[in-house]
Structure 1
Amino acid sequence: MAIKLITNNVDGAKIRIVGVGGGGGNIINNMVDAGINSVEFIAINTDKQVLDLNKANVKILIGKDVTKGLGAGMDAEKGMKAAENSRDEIHRALEGSDMVFITAGMGKGTGTGAAPVVARIAKSLDALVVALVTKPFGFEGNMKASIANDGIEKLKREVDSLIVIPNQKLIEITDDPNITKNEAFALVDRVLYHATKGISQIITEPGEMNVDMADVRTTMRGMGDALIGTGIASGPDRAEKATLAALNNPLLENIKIKGAKRVLTNISTNNSMKLHEFEKINSMIIAEVGIENESGFIIGTIDDPSMKEDELMITIIATGFDNEETNFGNHTQTKSEGKGIVELAAGKTKLKSNNVNPKREVALYDDEDEQNVQKYKIHEIPNDQDLKNLDVPAFKRRGDDLNLNEDFSENLKPIEEFDDNEWDDFNIDEDFQKPAFLRRQMD
């Protein structure tokens, strides 16, 4: 496969990172502390007290007439109205943007309700709009999860590419069983930081093989669901280790990168990139993705003096997935396979039963970080043959192995073997000799 090498430097691409709501604002604060060059930070909130403490360059208090600066609670409708109420102010803040990142924690009022409005405004300005949002931890409750799912569906319609990070997955892959809640949230923020920095660096930082804004647009414009993986490694095997880490990033867990139509890869080092490392990374990614169209694979390198001398970081962005398939780990199952009832818990598949009629269709839905396992209904439309067999008992039509002639007598205890104490436990009285409907009338 030929590799597209970009030599034009990007001049003045304006990137804005917008944190919406309390969760988005926290992400902005952590990104400001960690540092991302050549971007502008904007914080949008309905809670004035929280917004005043934010470290963003630009702060917008939305919906003053709707929330009085007191927040939207878990009311996404109120968050949406607040953003609509401040549309002009948001529009002015986003004017001239080439790319807009929207970060938010989905599940509460402002982030869930306002993020789609912000995305719509950014799209109207012809900016490339990418949303990186989180879904709640399992311990945050089912109501918050439901609000988040509704908000994500609305946001998906307003952005070019959407990256969803299920918080629960990230906590499940940590090795420390004693991790605190604050440490878990910090872990999520760190993943979001690397994802945003990786994409921003691709556009703003010069390199020997530079990727420009047009390439990022080609990869992410109007592509829907996106996957991003980052990997950092050092030492003699750093290229292989970083690539494997990026390909097996928690953001990619349970959804394989194979089959993506477009992949953009960025490699960052402190001016220590070796030719054989580049070739190794290139071959590993192509082998994993299986891209047949050479124009779908773009790779660039960046010299980052802030990195350690022997450190190598890889950022992989994959888009253009076939929505006809649902991919779980190493297994791809289409909706027509019908292998049994499948339980999905935190993105993991578990075969519940192998005794399911093979003609029945199994609908798979990826609820990712739902704390409680949900079992989905199997619906079968009867055909003519089924209607002819209605006189056959249901258990036989299902193929259940039920032997009605089985002798259960060996498990029965002769009545004379019950002692007096066992009979006392039954509390039998004369009323039980009366029909049930008469007993109900007497109560």
Structure 2
Amino acid sequence: MTAQIINISSLDKSKPPLSDRVKVIGIGNAGLKIVEKLSMIKEASGLEIAGVDTDSASIMKSTITAKYLVGAEWTNGIGTGGDVLKGESAIAHKSNIAVKNFISNGSLLILVGGFGGGTATGGMPIIARFARERNIPVLMLVTLPFSFEGHSKRDAAEAQINNLLRTKSTVITIPNDLLYCVLPDTTPFDKAFSMANEEVAKAVLGIAELLRCDSTISVDLCDLLNVLAKGKTDCGIGIGTASSVETKDRVNDALKNLLSSPLLGGKQRLKISDALIISLTGGSDLTIGEMRFALDTLKSFAGEHTEIVVGANIDELYEKKIQLTVIPITYDKSNAISTVPIEEKELFNIKTTTHTAIIRNVNKLLKHKEEQPELPFTTRSRGIFTPTSQTLYNGEDIDIPTFQRKEIHIDKGR
């Protein structure tokens, strides 16, 4: 067996390490609020954060520095009204040049937003495409609507997720309904949304820390993408932080806080998950004993066949503090994404993969005889030219269709 020798001088040195320029973009109203929460976290100071929306009022209220109003010519600056196609058109508009410039030199792009509306649902795939055109890896983290928000929003979110999975995109979906597991019924409406946004912001930070190249226990981006790209997923988020200033046993306290996270779905969620993404970050005072106890405890909560991706990182911003991040992933085995184009499904009504079924449906189409309807060519009219002066040529009003002027009989093909 011979070893492969790689000439280091031939490697692409222009491409920055993954940890150099991690960029986060919040899309739409929910996305803006999530990145606002992220920008307030001291440990997120190494991330480059921006917001994109089609609503000028939302942009004006946002406290983040890099914020971009796009597609104002499509939306008049008042948003998309939940129209996914309008969101797609607005983000694809030429006013997106500032967004393209923001992501152009990134090493990893994390997109966050709430699916179900128009801007994020329609626009996130467009921004992801901008990044892929520049060979920048993309990870999308989206929240799904509360059940009380109605079926139309949920259907729009599910449809776009299915579309993204067909293009092999990496999507982490977080149902907002997980908040019901831990929040009492008396929780104020706005507080529930605020807590959800804060947890998603912490999850973004946890994912970024997981992929840091200088990690003590590093995770290759391919490992993470492979876990997430196996099909449609249902995910949760667990965040647990603790400081040695406030407690003598910060690891146990961090674990307790993680298990009570609003978007985790409880300890049982870890047991039934098909995969777990675990991230541990601490300062230089993090001991190997603390690291082992935290990671072993989380692994013990997992099922026997659960696939686990683990990363640990030392960061000076976490001095005297530790943060545990867990993303439990469950694959949707009952709703596999078909690779057959939608048009073919509708045309042939394919329900099985047997050749006879396809041939039978094709024969039905061939036997079906289309009938051309009779057009009502009876009224002699100048149409929109009625209120105008006649356009005469050789004594004939040429604004009247030729077949009517010359009284031509139309053959109906019967």
TM-score, normalization by structure 2:
0.64
Q: Which residue of 2 is the match for residue 421 of structure 1?
A: none
Establish whether residue 107 from structure 1 lines up as the match of residue 116 from structure 2: yes
On the 8 A contact 1:135/1:166 being kept in 2, the answer is yes
Deviation at 1:172, TM superposition (A): 4.1
What is the SS of the residue equivalent to 2:143?
Answer: strand
On the 8 A contact 1:120/1:159 being kept in 2, the answer is no
On the 8 A contact 2:71/2:95 being kept in 1, the answer is no
The change in CA–CA distance for 1:189 and 1:11 in structure 2 (over 3 A counts) is: closer
How many aligned positions are there? 312
Q: Which residue of 1 is the match for residue 225 of structure 2?
A: 220
On the 8 A contact 1:206/1:303 being kept in 2, the answer is no
Match of 2:296 among 262, 283, 292: 283
Establish whether residue 151 from structure 1 lines up as the match of residue 160 from structure 2: yes
> Partners of 2:68 and 2:94 in 1: how far apart?
9
On the 8 A contact 2:19/2:107 being kept in 1, the answer is no
User: For residue 242 of structure 1, what is the amino acid of its counterpart?
Assistant: A
User: For residue 266 of structure 1, what is the amino acid of its counterpart?
Assistant: S
Match of 1:22 among 16, 20, 29: 29
Write out aligned runs for 1:88-99 (5 A): 89=97, 90-99=99-108
Deviation at 1:158, TM superposition (A): 5.0
> Partners of 2:277 and 2:174 in 1: how far apart?
19
Establish whether residue 187 from structure 1 lines up as the match of residue 192 from structure 2: no
Deviation at 1:160, TM superposition (A): 4.2
Q: Which residue of 1 is the match for residue 325 of structure 2?
A: 315
Write out aligned runs for 1:301-312 (5 A): 301-306=313-318, 309=320, 311-312=321-322
What is the SS of the residue equivalent to 1:242?
Answer: helix
The change in CA–CA distance for 1:138 and 1:241 in structure 2 (over 3 A counts) is: same
Structure 1, 53-62 or 260-269: larger mean CA deviation: 260-269
The change in CA–CA distance for 1:190 and 1:304 in structure 2 (over 3 A counts) is: farther
> Partners of 2:67 and 2:292 in 1: how far apart?
44
Deviation at 1:39, TM superposition (A): 1.5
Identity of aligned residues (%): 24
Match of 1:211 among 211, 218, 228: 218
The change in CA–CA distance for 1:158 and 1:253 in structure 2 (over 3 A counts) is: farther
The change in CA–CA distance for 1:186 and 1:127 in structure 2 (over 3 A counts) is: same
Question: What's the RMSD between the two structures over aligned residues?
Answer: 3.6
Establish whether residue 120 from structure 1 lines up as the match of residue 125 from structure 2: no
TM-score, normalization by structure 1:
0.60
Match of 2:186 among 169, 178, 190: 178
The change in CA–CA distance for 1:168 and 1:46 in structure 2 (over 3 A counts) is: same
Deviation at 1:279, TM superposition (A): 2.1
On the 8 A contact 2:31/2:114 being kept in 1, the answer is yes
> Partners of 2:226 and 2:104 in 1: how far apart?
19
Deviation at 1:114, TM superposition (A): 1.0
Deviation at 1:314, TM superposition (A): 0.9
> Partners of 1:195 and 1:201 in 2: how far apart?
10
Q: Which residue of 2 is the match for residue 51 of structure 1?
A: 59
> Partners of 2:139 and 2:205 in 1: how far apart?
13
Deviation at 1:187, TM superposition (A): 0.3
User: For residue 314 of structure 1, what is the amino acid of its counterpart?
Assistant: L
The change in CA–CA distance for 1:242 and 1:11 in structure 2 (over 3 A counts) is: same
User: For residue 239 of structure 1, what is the amino acid of its counterpart?
Assistant: V
User: For residue 220 of structure 1, what is the amino acid of its counterpart?
Assistant: L
Establish whether residue 39 from structure 1 lines up as the match of residue 83 from structure 2: no
On the 8 A contact 1:46/1:70 being kept in 2, the answer is yes
Q: Any stretches of 5+ residues in structure 2 without a counterpart?
A: 1-15, 336-414
User: For residue 49 of structure 1, what is the amino acid of its counterpart?
Assistant: A
The change in CA–CA distance for 1:156 and 1:203 in structure 2 (over 3 A counts) is: same
Q: Which residue of 2 is the match for residue 360 of structure 1?
A: none
The change in CA–CA distance for 1:45 and 1:262 in structure 2 (over 3 A counts) is: same
On the 8 A contact 2:18/2:213 being kept in 1, the answer is no
Deviation at 1:100, TM superposition (A): 1.1
> Partners of 2:210 and 2:263 in 1: how far apart?
19
Establish whether residue 81 from structure 1 lines up as the match of residue 89 from structure 2: yes
Write out aligned runs for 1:41-440 (5 A): 41-86=49-94, 89=97, 90-157=99-166, 160-175=169-184, 177-204=185-212, 209=216, 211=218, 215-220=220-225, 223-224=228-229, 225=233, 228-233=237-242, 235-243=247-255, 245-246=257-258, 249-253=261-265, 256-257=269-270, 263-289=276-302, 297-306=309-318, 309=320, 311-317=321-327, 323-324=332-333
> Partners of 1:12 and 1:299 in 2: how far apart?
14
User: For residue 298 of structure 2, what is the amino acid of its counterpart?
Assistant: I
Q: Per-residue displacement from partner, 1:150-191 (whole Å, max 9, x unpaired)?
A: 23333444564322222222144114x432122111101110
User: For residue 182 of structure 1, what is the amino acid of its counterpart?
Assistant: D
The change in CA–CA distance for 1:178 and 1:258 in structure 2 (over 3 A counts) is: closer
On the 8 A contact 1:135/1:165 being kept in 2, the answer is yes
Structure 1, 15-24 or 149-158: larger mean CA deviation: 149-158
Q: Which residue of 2 is the match for residue 364 of structure 1?
A: none
The change in CA–CA distance for 1:325 and 1:228 in structure 2 (over 3 A counts) is: farther
On the 8 A contact 1:219/1:262 being kept in 2, the answer is no
The change in CA–CA distance for 1:291 and 1:39 in structure 2 (over 3 A counts) is: farther
What is the SS of the residue equivalent to 1:190?
Answer: helix
What is the SS of the residue equivalent to 2:30?
Answer: helix
On the 8 A contact 2:270/2:303 being kept in 1, the answer is no
On the 8 A contact 2:145/2:153 being kept in 1, the answer is yes
On the 8 A contact 2:182/2:260 being kept in 1, the answer is no
Deviation at 1:303, TM superposition (A): 3.7
The change in CA–CA distance for 1:182 and 1:248 in structure 2 (over 3 A counts) is: closer
Q: Which residue of 2 is the match for residue 337 of structure 1?
A: none
What is the SS of the residue equivalent to 1:107?
Answer: coil
Deviation at 1:10, TM superposition (A): 5.6
